[in-house]
A = this chain, B = another copy of it.
Amino acid sequence: MEDKAQIQEAIKTQGEVVRKLKSEKASKEQIDEEVAKLLQLKAQLGGDDGKHQFVLKTAKGTRDYNPKQMAIREKVFNTIIGCFKRHGAETIDTPVFELKETLTGKYGEDSKLIYDLKDQGGELLSLRYDLTVPFARYLAMNKITNIKRYHIAKVYRRDNPAMTRGRYREFYQCDFDIAGQYDAMIPDAECLKIVHEILSELDLGDFRIKVNDRRILDGMFAVCGVPDDKFRTICSTVDKLDKLPWEEVKKEMVNEKGLSEEAADQIGEYVSMQGGMDLAERLLQDQKMSQSKQACAGLSDIKLLFSYLQLFQVTDKVVFDLSLARGLDYYTGIIYEAVLTQAGVAPVTTDAQNGAPSEESVSVGSVAGGGRYDGLVGMFDPKGRKVPCVGVSIGIERVFSIMEQKAEASAEKVRTTEVQVMVASAQKNLLEEKLKLITELWNAGIKAEVMYKKNPKLLSQLQHCEESGIPLVAILGEQELKDGVVKLRVVATREEVDISRADLIGEIRRRTSEA
């Protein structure tokens, strides 16, 4: 426990901070934060031993997962990992914190959202903000020039919950990336195939995968007369098209970003275009667009991409959409984003969108996103050697929340254990016999439970089965012991049948195998 005087000193200082903020008429939010800290300090001081003065909560923006949520999470992970493995991916893991400088200069403005560790002597550390930068650091550090890996882990962002309701500060990312110097668009197409497979298998309702290319965007900006130094800022305005109507977006371009009305209108024409390979072909012939070498390179790659997507049988869901911009700076080529189109299944709320496409501005309904980033690894290599990469991030938190809603709506109960059989008795003084039997079952690999009471009531044993969805009960009694049998009860039907001890394990397996 910290020194009391020290805490009292801290309370005094913190009190002054709060008073100062109030006198300065700081934002309510800022004052609330500092008041919370003050209350926390006071709680820490507590009574004589400070024992019952705890604020009993998890940190702001974080949550526990209860067993039911974990069961859903496990199911979703199994589907996703199954897909990654089907495509031959390995997995790696990196520490939850990195040297602060590893993250420095990678996230632009969002760097302010990085959690730093306190300087307790030694290195300056920060919690990881995503899995992509640690991946790039890993490749450069180990001089790995090609790998196909997935990584599922938590990342941390000091996002402001007041601003972005429902977002978490700790959330999962679920990334698949292919690093290596390969022929154009083959790994890129596989990433889209993976998104298609995962969203189909998860059965979240209908979806669409939008694709575009950073080079097409840049080329388009150039031919529309956007000055070079405004590419990024205009790009981030375009990125808002999934939430705002064109008129609003145009207003921002012209009034806030100082773009000419003419240039904005030209952009407006392009970003309304959607299509497939045919659109790419048409734009290659487009008088203006064809003037940009960059745009042409991007358009040719889109054509090639679609030819591979046809072979992968996924073109039904993929659309070339010139309005797709995506926020992150590090993309250098193809970019994509998957959105759910069935409003019924995926209600248009802002809940649990974090982690979706690994950046801040997530479109409503977005459940996956990614793109090509050929420059990031080079930022870590002492000689600047590049390793081309393309990857996708599944918006797993959003998927969880949809699956949870579906589970709530469904009549079927979510099981949180896989117990096949409960070892029970109707009579007293049979604990020893039950422990003997359950030992046989455990040793044979059967998932089994027994109550931790010497003489539980049969009813409470049966109730436990109902509640946790255990399908079978193995009931022991004096008579059964004499006869060398066990009474096997099917919970759902209440059917009971005597099974000889020798046949019991086989019978349980037979009745609980998912055939």
Contacts and interface: CB of A to CB of B under 8 A. Distances in A.
B105 A92 contact: no
A285 interface: no
A152 B89 CA distance: 23
A90 B104 contact: no
A59 B98 contact: yes
Range of interface residues on A (Cβ < 8 Å): 35 or more
A311 B438 CA distance: 9
Contacts of A64: 92-95, 138, 141-142
Given A87-B442, A121-B33, A124-B40, A54 B170 contact: no
Contacts of A149: 67
A178 B439 CA distance: 18
Contacts of A479: none
Interface string A338-377: 0000000000000000000000000000000000000000
Interface string A394-418: 0000000000000000000000111
B56 A382 contact: yes
A115 interface: yes
Interface string A45-56: 000001110111
Contacts of A137: 56
A497 interface: no
B87 A449 contact: yes
A514 interface: no
Interface stretch (A180-188, A250-258, A276-284, A499-507): A180-188
Given A86-B446, A88-B447, A93 B65 contact: yes
Contact of A105 (B50, B308, B312): B50
A417 B89 contact: yes
Contacts of A33: 121-122
Interface in A50-86: 50-52, 54-60, 62-67, 70-71, 73-74, 85-86
B312 A59 contact: no
Nearest to A104: B1
Interface in A104-144: 104-105, 111, 115-125, 127, 137-138, 140-142
B445 A95 contact: no
Interface in A283-333: 308, 311-313
A194 to B, nearest CB: 9
Interface string A439-457: 1001101111100111000
B118 A119 contact: yes
A508 to B, nearest CB: 13
B308 A59 contact: no
Contacts of A71: 90
Nearest to A58: B95
A228 interface: no
A204 interface: no
Contact of A435 (B124, B312, B417, B443): B312
7 contacts: A40-B99, A41-B124, A56-B140, A64-B138, A97-B170, A311-B435, A313-B443
Interface of A: 1-2, 30, 33-34, 36-37, 40-41, 43-44, 50-52, 54-60, 62-67, 70-71, 73-74, 85-102, 104-105, 111, 115-125, 127, 137-138, 140-142, 147, 149, 154, 156, 158, 170, 178, 180, 182-183, 186-187, 190, 193, 197, 308, 311-313, 379-384, 416-419, 431-432, 435-436, 439, 442-443, 445-449, 452-454
Q: What are the nearest 5 A-B pairs in CB distance? A: A182-B452, A67-B90, A62-B95, A88-B449, A311-B435
